[in-house]
């Protein structure tokens, strides 16, 4: 009898197992020695883990080079004392040559998108999730979208690249210029599933807090054929919650923990 109960419970648990979300390393797998956010090394480490995706941020420099970087670039921080204003170079208002003089935290030179795509080519598995940052004018945004889409095609990576953006304009330009069926997800968290469906893009990529407040949006998106990605989920309790909610993708700074929990919870 006991055995039957144990088997019945095991069967129930297996039925209750959750669908398996894919893991995306936020700005690459940067929490390793010798790595840092948005570095080539962080992309390499994400590939080494065999993750579904590695996210990166891109900006257009003043002289039209696409670089992988999130915000302003700091010159050597160690040269400044606490409390002093650390000067920052605004990426979109600096030239590539100026930015090259400032090494990343791991000593790398700021990567260009071309260098990132070279590295993306080396893995058959890990997709590059490119976040196109907001720029000062819609014209600049169109320029970076156009150049990026052309470059990705030139590298033969149409099937290995997905896009995310905060600006609806960037999403629309991606929809217009990227090959049909290219995944494009909206980041800003303010549009409901019906509206996003109407935008003609493939999904949402919303902040954890947004989905926590509006958990119904998850199923509502999926019912409409939209994918659901969530950022940036790092601690165990939150990871467990998003797995239980059945999101399609989890963007995290801790891909090792996310992978472990998924293995445990999604049989
Ligand atoms: Mg990003």
CATH of the domain at 144: 3.20.20.190
Do 250 and 230 contact (CB within 8 A), yes or no?
yes
> Each residue of 206-249: pLDDT tens digit?
999 999 999 999 999 999 999 999 999 999 999 999 999 999 99
Distance CA 131, CA 223 (A): 25
DSSP state of 248: S
**Cα 177 to ligand 1 centroid, rounded to whole Å:** 21
Q: Look-up: residue for tokens 């006991």?
A: 2
Domain count for the chain: 1
Distance CA 51, CA 219 (A): 24
CB under 8 Å to 89, separation ≥6 — which residues? 72, 73, 75, 98, 99, 102
pLDDT band at 69 (very low <50, low <70, confident <90, very high): very high
**Cα 56 to ligand 1 centroid, rounded to whole Å:** 6
In a domain? residue 190: yes
Mean pLDDT of 31-40: 95
Q: What is the pLDDT of residue 26?
A: 98
**Cα 218 to ligand 1 centroid, rounded to whole Å:** 21
Mean pLDDT of 254-264: 98
Mean pLDDT of 11-22: 70
Q: Look-up: residue for tokens 């070279």?
A: 118
- What domain range is 54 assigned to? 20-265
**Cα 164 to ligand 1 centroid, rounded to whole Å:** 8
**Cα 258 to ligand 1 centroid, rounded to whole Å:** 18
Distance CA 217, CA 226 (A): 10
In a domain? residue 58: yes
In a domain? residue 14: no
**Cα 37 to ligand 1 centroid, rounded to whole Å:** 10
**Cα 106 to ligand 1 centroid, rounded to whole Å:** 19
**Cα 7 to ligand 1 centroid, rounded to whole Å:** 45
**Cα 234 to ligand 1 centroid, rounded to whole Å:** 15
Q: What is the pLDDT of residue 8?
A: 57
Checking if the pLDDT of 71 tops 90, the result is: no
Checking if the pLDDT of 81 tops 60, the result is: no
Structure pTM? 0.90
Distance CA 208, CA 229 (A): 9
Backbone angles phi, psi at 55, to 5 degrees: -90, 150
Pull the structure tokens for residue 134: 């907001």
Backbone angles phi, psi at 34, to 5 degrees: 80, 5
In a domain? residue 6: no
> Each residue of 113-144: pLDDT tens digit?
999 999 999 999 999 999 999 999 999 999 99
3-state secondary structure of 150: helix
Q: Supply the mean pLDDT for the chain.
A: 92
**Cα 17 to ligand 1 centroid, rounded to whole Å:** 30
- Segments of 167-235 assigned E as strands: 184-186, 203-207, 227-231
pLDDT band at 63 (very low <50, low <70, confident <90, very high): very high
Counting DSSP H helices and E strands in the chain, the numbers are 11, 9
| Cα 122 from chain centre | 19
pLDDT band at 17 (very low <50, low <70, confident <90, very high): confident
**Above pLDDT 70, what percent of the chain?**
88
**Cα 131 to ligand 1 centroid, rounded to whole Å:** 5
**Cα 184 to ligand 1 centroid, rounded to whole Å:** 14
Mean pLDDT of 59-65: 97
**Cα 204 to ligand 1 centroid, rounded to whole Å:** 14
In a domain? residue 9: no
**Cα 58 to ligand 1 centroid, rounded to whole Å:** 8
Mean pLDDT of 87-93: 84
Mean pLDDT of 17-41: 95
Q: What is the pLDDT of residue 28?
A: 98
**Cα 66 to ligand 1 centroid, rounded to whole Å:** 15
Q: What is the pLDDT of residue 12?
A: 52
**Cα 192 to ligand 1 centroid, rounded to whole Å:** 21
In a domain? residue 156: yes
> Each residue of 159-216: pLDDT tens digit?
999 999 999 999 999 999 999 999 999 999 999 999 999 999 999 999 999 999 999 9
**Cα 213 to ligand 1 centroid, rounded to whole Å:** 22
In a domain? residue 4: no
More confident residue, 55 or 71: 55
In a domain? residue 240: yes
Residue 243, judged by CB atoms within 10 A of its CB (0-12, 13-18, 19+), counts as: buried
């Amino acid at each position: 009898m006991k055995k039957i109960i144990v088997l019945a419970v095991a069967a129930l648990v297996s039925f209750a197992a959750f669908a398996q979300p894919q893991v995306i390393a936020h700005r690459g797998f940067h929490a390793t020695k010798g790595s840092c956010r948005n570095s080539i090394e962080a992309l390499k480490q994400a590939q080494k883990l065999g993750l579904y995706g590695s996210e990166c941020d891109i900006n257009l420099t003043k002289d039209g080079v696409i670089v992988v970087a999130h915000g302003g670039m700091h010159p050597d921080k160690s040269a400044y004392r606490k409390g002093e204003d650390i000067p920052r170079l605004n990426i979109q208002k600096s030239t590539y040559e100026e930015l090259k003089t400032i090494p990343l935290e791991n000593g790398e030179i700021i990567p260009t998108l071309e260098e990132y795509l070279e590295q993306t080519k080396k893995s058959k598995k890990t997709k590059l999730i490119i976040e196109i940052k907001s720029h000062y004018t819609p014209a600049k945004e169109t320029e970076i979208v156009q150049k990026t889409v052309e470059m990705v095609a030139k590298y033969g990576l149409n099937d290995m690249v997905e896009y995310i953006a905060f600006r609806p304009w960037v999403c629309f330009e991606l929809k217009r210029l990227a090959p049909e069926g290219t995944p494009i997800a909206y980041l800003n968290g303010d549009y409901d599933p019906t509206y996003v469906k109407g935008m003609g893009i493939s999904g949402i990529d919303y902040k954890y807090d947004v989905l926590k407040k509006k958990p119904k949006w998850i199923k509502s998106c999926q019912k409409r054929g939209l994918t659901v990605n969530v950022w940036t989920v790092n601690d165990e309790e939150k990871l467990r919650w998003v797995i239980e909610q059945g999101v399609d993708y989890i963007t995290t700074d801790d891909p090792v923990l996310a992978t472990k929990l998924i293995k445990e919870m999604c049989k």
